[in-house]
Homo-oligomer: A and B are copies of this chain.
Amino acid sequence: MNVTKIALPQYSCSENRFENQDTAEAMVAEAARLGADLILLQELFDSLYFCSEMNQDHFSLAETAEGSTVSRFRKLAASLNVVLLLPFFEKKAPGLYFNSLAVIERDGTLAGLYRKMHIPDDPGFFEKYYFTPGDLGFRVFHTSAGKIGTLICWDQWFPEAARLTAMKGAELLVYPTAIGTIPEEGEVDKIRFRDAWRTIQRSHAIANGCYVASTNRIGNEGHNTFWGGSFVCGPFGEILAEAGEGQEIISAELNWSLIENQRQTWPFFRDRRVDAFGKLTERYG
């Protein structure tokens, strides 16, 4: 298959996770009806962004990859014949939790997991309390809907993560996301932050000659207001589809046959000074 149609459902969540799952399921079904082969849901797809506070109760939202939530969406993917990227709160063992993404093939098999490697911790985003940094490394999945490099939210600020994922063969980098502003931040901040967020992700497409897709949530959740703006861009960083701040499904066609030409004409992989990159494994200096 040389072209994949990707869809990104963008929606808000409530306290009721089953209601959120129903929303997600309905939007995935609608995306499939519109011809999408590949569907990317938002980070922690079926709950409020609970990391806005430190509350032990929220650990009860976590499930294993064999739990009922992933199972429900594996069945959905199979019934719709789509590859589904499902970000979820993963419980590995009591006291060990990850911010994860399940890659589900169109026959409902679990192709594998990615566990968010970079974990933020800021006022309103207390993720280091909940999530252990990912222990599976950077990953690419050769699916029936393309070679998909899986990354999650905060990973988007780290060019190293994009590069290592692209070096494993990814032709699409995905970033399910939960990003927005807190009350101390005004409209000017939001415009500036959102443009920086969009710019850094577009840059990963440019640097690596690949597609990028990013799904963000919307809505007000207590102190956090999520800005939506889910988008798909091509290997020049050019925007192919972009959402506003409301509930919607955006989609774009990913033409895999363009990737090799792109990397021949902009041959960054040819020229990386790998002999001089050793200190990238250091903190500073």
Contact = CB atoms under 8 A, between A and B. Distances in A.
Interface string A69-97: 00000000000000000000000000000
Contact of A154 (B158, B238, B265, B271): B271
Contacts of A157: 206-207, 266, 268
Q: Is the interface of A mostly helix, strand, loop or mixed?
A: helix
Which of A157, A238, A280 has the largest count of B CB atoms less than 10 A from its CB? A280
A115 to B, nearest CB: 11
A203 interface: yes
Interface stretch (A25-33, A105-113, A190-198, A219-227): A190-198
Interface in A269-285: 269, 271-285
Nearest to A283: B274
Interface in A238-267: 238, 265-267
A232 to B, nearest CB: 15
Interface string A181-206: 00000000000110110011011001
A159 B279 contact: no
Contact of A281 (B118, B202, B278): B278
Contact of A284 (B119, B238, B269, B283): B269
Contacts of A207: 157-159, 200
The 3 closest A-B CB pairs, nearest first, are: A203-B203, A159-B159, A196-B236
Contacts of A278: 281
A199 B206 contact: yes
8 contacts: A118-B273, A158-B273, A160-B272, A161-B273, A196-B238, A199-B206, A269-B283, A280-B281
Interface of A: 117-120, 122, 133, 137-138, 154, 157-164, 167-169, 192-193, 195-196, 199-200, 202-203, 206-207, 236-238, 265-269, 271-285
A285 B200 CA distance: 23
A157 B266 CA distance: 9
A160 B281 contact: no
B168 A285 contact: yes
Contacts of A273: 117-118, 133, 158, 160-161
B159 A163 contact: yes
B284 A117 contact: no
B199 A237 contact: yes
Contacts of A277: 160, 164, 280-281
Contact of A206 (B161, B196, B268): B196
A137 B276 CA distance: 7
A236 B192 contact: yes
Given A203-B199, A206-B196, A206-B200, A272 B158 contact: yes
A163 B277 CA distance: 10
